[in-house]
């Protein structure tokens, strides 16, 4: 029985070599392979081209214990993966009558005859294990060659993912001797990547698992920093203990800027806090124009703790719907702490316990020397009303994303 | 002077081999290379590993006229690209005093001494052209070997993109004899991929440019289908004429489901229509919870034509802020055409000329046999009030995305 350690992933499809589409199947596959203790060493994208695909398959098979190729199993002339892999391995193709039967039945259920082109999908290289497709016509294939494995999966994620989980993962698990990669994620908001790294580095540089150093990665996006800790081995209990210890040390050093160590998003953490306290939230947004409400209502079940809100893009909506006084707007301007407070208190009257507001200048226009682009005021009205002025870097989209994260964090802090 | 036709892109960085991050630099580079008439044949991602990186560089150089590698030019031990490429090409490295000087000055401007590790970034392989970095410390490098070229660029997009545009693109343009890839995009909403393909296929299968067939790609995302037409050659005028003719034929066959042939997004098209007519829009959202307002206000300058709106997640907000009658809600339920009409007409009173509303069941919970998950009602109040009931497929996020596109399209149609 071979022991699989290393994998390479090949995504096949000319559309993945345009400026418009990126291969995301490999993210799913990498996560699943890591859980099986298999490390991905390289990913390749090739077009629907016989020579390029053959080169990629030959190269990957020469380096990795396992090669997974996605895409190119369809019925059209462009779909070459089956053919090219058979040729690289020197296998003949033969039609599998069971696959043909399954496809004919599948089309019949939809009341149509199977197009002749689909017959091609029943071609199976000699010695291959057929992986039935519960969501589409193209079956997957698993082949062994010189103690190495190549798995061919369909490109559409809704077909590829269940096929991997139901048919590939159990076969791979039998070949990895119980090895697993375990991972923990610490999520942080309100600090820059370098500020977080300064605190975290001395700690994670000395974390060691039973099988060697803990792998650490820091990922930054506007308004959020993630610290990833991972380690692999077959003593899962010992590894989990090591990672939990690392998470505890880092959480203590980083303090209240850590909002989640269990994978939850910032909006889910806020929702859980509201839900646990039977509180309802309403939101008034100006420059973010609905994005904060959009993030909150992405959480399934959010109707239990969000009543809704107002997007007060124009001053007249601020006055009419939120009851912000004309005098306040004139004295301080729409982007000011007094107006943000009035918006948060005004929107709370929609039947909520907590009101939050965002008003600011997201750009590209609208800035001034006193209030440059990136100036954003957030207010939260709960037991008391607090307001804070930020100056966020970046373009319109980045400023808007920072603003919604800052508001979520202020709501979180006012509930703690 | 070599003529460059084919390129491969290598993204270097172990973080790109985790389940969490995807290489997007290659999308920018592919777009730019296509404009120069250079086709990308393969993309590879490798980690910060000497052997894996050397294999990738060697393989790419054996196949393509041009190899672009991004990442791994930083100052830390993980950053191996410079070293490995020098080794693969058999070049020695020497410190470039001008680079050191530039880095020292850069740090001095921030009031700090240059850390010793950064000196590594001044190592230049023999014969390389140094590409100064206007946004960071790591310079890029361009090397020629046996008539092929390899370009090393920093990983952060804010450093990589201007370096490519300012320093790499002009050098490549001089080597491609004026060849360009030209591209046109037709954007469509309100139909499925297969419905669009059925109409489009007979047309685009007979499109031919002066240098051969026009390349076509169809890209589907929830609520939007894109048809891409591209062709390459040096007679740009003739190619553009061919593509314009293809766009015209396809637009005529597809009719009013085409909303853009000039790259504009659906929200920008709606904004431009409103702006041209000096109209203002207000939006009331239930199940989409602010996402439609979020899409609209993503458009710079949207404050000229969006006044704002209400996220009426709870029925009490529908009654209190939008004036939806209790009787309507009781008789028809919140997800119904009468309620959607009342929401659109109610939100229009916020000082807008056009009111739009979305109410529906995005799931995962909340469905019933009469109104299953995916049931969404959209209404638009302009000259008259129109309402339409949809049943969208997919998960919560997909239903929400479909809903906002359907609403944008109904606004667009009511303005035409």
Name the β-bridge partners of A381.
A355, A385
**pLDDT at res. B2:** 62
- Asked if B306 has any chain A CB less than 8 Å from its own CB, the reply is yes
Mutate to test the interface with B, among A8, A18, A136 (most CBs of B within 10 A): A18
Highest-confidence segment of A396-400, B69-73, B136-140, B189-193: B69-73
pLDDT band, residue B211 (cuts 50/70/90): low
Name the β-bridge partners of A378.
A358, A388
**pLDDT at res. B139:** 94
Long-range contacts of residues A319-326, Cβ cutoff 8 Å, at least 24 apart? A320/B350, A320/B351, A321/A346, A321/B308, A321/B310, A321/B321, A321/B350, A322/A284, A322/A346, A322/A347, A323/A349
Which residue in chain A has the smallest CA separation from B46? A42
C-beta of residue A381 within 8 angstroms of C-beta of residue A355:
yes
Mutate to test the interface with A, among B47, B308, B359, B403 (most CBs of A within 10 A): B308
**pLDDT at res. B74:** 86
Q: Nearest C-alpha of chain A: how many angstroms from B167?
A: 20
- Asked if B225 has any chain A CB less than 8 Å from its own CB, the reply is no
Which pair of tokens denotes residue A52?
């390029």
- The answer to whether the peptide bond before residue A302 is cis (omega within 30 degrees of 0) is no
**pLDDT at res. A220:** 79
ipTM entry: 0.78
pLDDT band, residue B324 (cuts 50/70/90): very high
**pLDDT at res. A172:** 93
pLDDT score of B10 more than 90: yes
Contacts of A19 in chain B (CB under 8 A): 27-28, 30-31, 34
Q: What are the tens digits of pLDDT across the range B357-416?
A: 999 999 888 899 999 999 999 999 999 999 999 999 888 888 999 999 999 999 999 999
Which residue in chain A has the smallest CA separation from B49? A41
Q: What are the tens digits of pLDDT across the range B21-38?
A: 889 999 999 999 988 889
Asked if A296's CB is within 8 angstroms of B317's CB, the reply is: no
* Regions of chain A where pLDDT drops below 70: 1-2, 209-211
Which residue in chain B has the smallest CA separation from A28? B19
Angstrom CA distances, B342 to A226, B91, B366, stand at 44, 74, 22
Which pair of tokens denotes residue A320?
């009419």
For chains A and B, count residue pairs whose Cβ atoms are closer than 8 Å: 238
- Asked if B8 has any chain A CB less than 8 Å from its own CB, the reply is no
Q: What are the tens digits of pLDDT across the range B265-317?
A: 999 999 999 999 999 999 999 999 999 999 999 998 999 999 999 999 899 99
Backbone angles phi, psi at B363, to 5 degrees: 85, -175
pLDDT band, residue B205 (cuts 50/70/90): confident
Contacts of A364 in chain B (CB under 8 A): 300
* One-character DSSP codes across B141-154: EEEEETTEEEEEE-
Q: Nearest C-alpha of chain A: how many angstroms from B370?
A: 21
Question: pLDDT above 90 covers what percent of chain B?
Answer: 69
| Burial group, residue B55, by CB count within 10 angstroms (0-12, 13-18, 19+) | buried
Contacts of A46 in chain B (CB under 8 A): 41-42
Alpha-carbon distance of A71 to A160, in angstroms, equals 9
**pLDDT at res. A393:** 83
pLDDT score of B177 more than 80: no
Alpha-carbon distance of B205 to B227, in angstroms, equals 13
Of B219 and B160, more confident: B160
Asked if A314's CB is within 8 angstroms of B351's CB, the reply is: yes
**pLDDT at res. A183:** 86
Contacts of A222 in chain B (CB under 8 A): none
Contacts of B397 in chain A (CB under 8 A): 298
Which residue in chain B has the smallest CA separation from A398? B298
Asked if A20's CB is within 8 angstroms of B27's CB, the reply is: yes
pLDDT band, residue B347 (cuts 50/70/90): very high
Alpha-carbon distance of B140 to B293, in angstroms, equals 41
Among B residues 349-408, those touching chain A with beta carbons less than 8 Å apart: 350-351, 363-366, 396-397, 400
Nearest Cα to Cα of residue A204 among A189, A185, A178: A185
Flag the least confident range among B10-19, B170-179, B184-193, B237-246. Answer: B170-179
Asked if A22's CB is within 8 angstroms of B396's CB, the reply is: no
Contacts of A41 in chain B (CB under 8 A): 17, 46-47, 49, 52
CA torsion through residues B186, B192, B197, B199, sign? negative
Please give the model's pTM, rounded to 2 decimal places: 0.81
pLDDT score of B53 more than 70: yes
**pLDDT at res. B191:** 87
């Amino acid at each position: 029985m071979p022991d699989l350690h290393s994998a390479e992933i090949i995504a096949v499809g000319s559309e993945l070599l345009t400026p418009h589409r990126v291969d995301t199947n490999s993210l799913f596959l990498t996560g699943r392979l890591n859980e099986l203790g298999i490390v991905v060493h390289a990913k390749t994208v090739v077009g629907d081209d016989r020579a390029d695909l053959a080169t990629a398959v030959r190269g990957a098979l020469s380096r990795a214990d396992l090669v997974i190729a996605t895409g190119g199993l369809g019925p059209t002339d462009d779909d070459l993966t089956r053919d090219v892999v058979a040729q690289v391995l020197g296998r003949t193709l033969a039609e599998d009558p069971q696959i043909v039967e399954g496809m004919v039945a599948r089309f019949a259920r939809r009341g149509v005859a199977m197009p002749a082109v689909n017959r091609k999908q029943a071609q199976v290289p000699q010695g291959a294990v057929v992986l039935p497709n519960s969501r589409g016509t193209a079956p997957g294939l698993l082949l062994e060659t010189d103690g190495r494995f190549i798995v061919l999966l369909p490109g559409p994620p809704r077909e590829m993912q269940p096929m991997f989980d139901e048919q590939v993962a159990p076969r791979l698990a039998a070949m990895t001797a119980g090895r697993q990669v375990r991972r923990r994620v610490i999520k942080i908001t309100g600090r820059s990547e370098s500020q977080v790294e300064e605190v975290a580095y001395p700690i994670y540089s000395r974390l060691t698992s039973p099988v060697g150093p803990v792998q650490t990665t820091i990922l930054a996006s506007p308004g959020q920093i993630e610290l990833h800790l991972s380690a692999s081995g077959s003593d899962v209990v010992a590894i989990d203990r090591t990672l939990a210890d690392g998470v505890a040390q880092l959480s203590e050093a980083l303090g209240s800027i850590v909002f989640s160590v269990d994978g939850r998003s910032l909006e889910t953490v806020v929702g859980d806090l509201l839900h646990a306290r039977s509180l309802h939230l309403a939101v008034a947004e100006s420059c973010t124009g609905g994005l904060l409400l959009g993030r909150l209502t992405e959480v399934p079940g959010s109707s239990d703790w969000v009543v809704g809100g107002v997007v007060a893009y124009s001053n007249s909506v601020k006055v009419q719907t939120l009851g912000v006084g004309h005098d306040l707007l004139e004295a301080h301007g729409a982007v000011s702490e007094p107006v943000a407070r009035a918006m948060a208190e005004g929107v709370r009257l929609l039947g909520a316990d907590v009101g939050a507001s965002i008003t600011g200048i997201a750009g590209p226009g609208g800035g001034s020397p006193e209030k440059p682009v990136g100036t954003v005021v957030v207010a939260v009205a709960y037991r008391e009303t607090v307001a804070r002025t930020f100056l966020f870097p970046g373009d319109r989209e980045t400023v808007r994303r920072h603003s919604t994260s800052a508001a979520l964090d202020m709501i979180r802090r006012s509930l703690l």
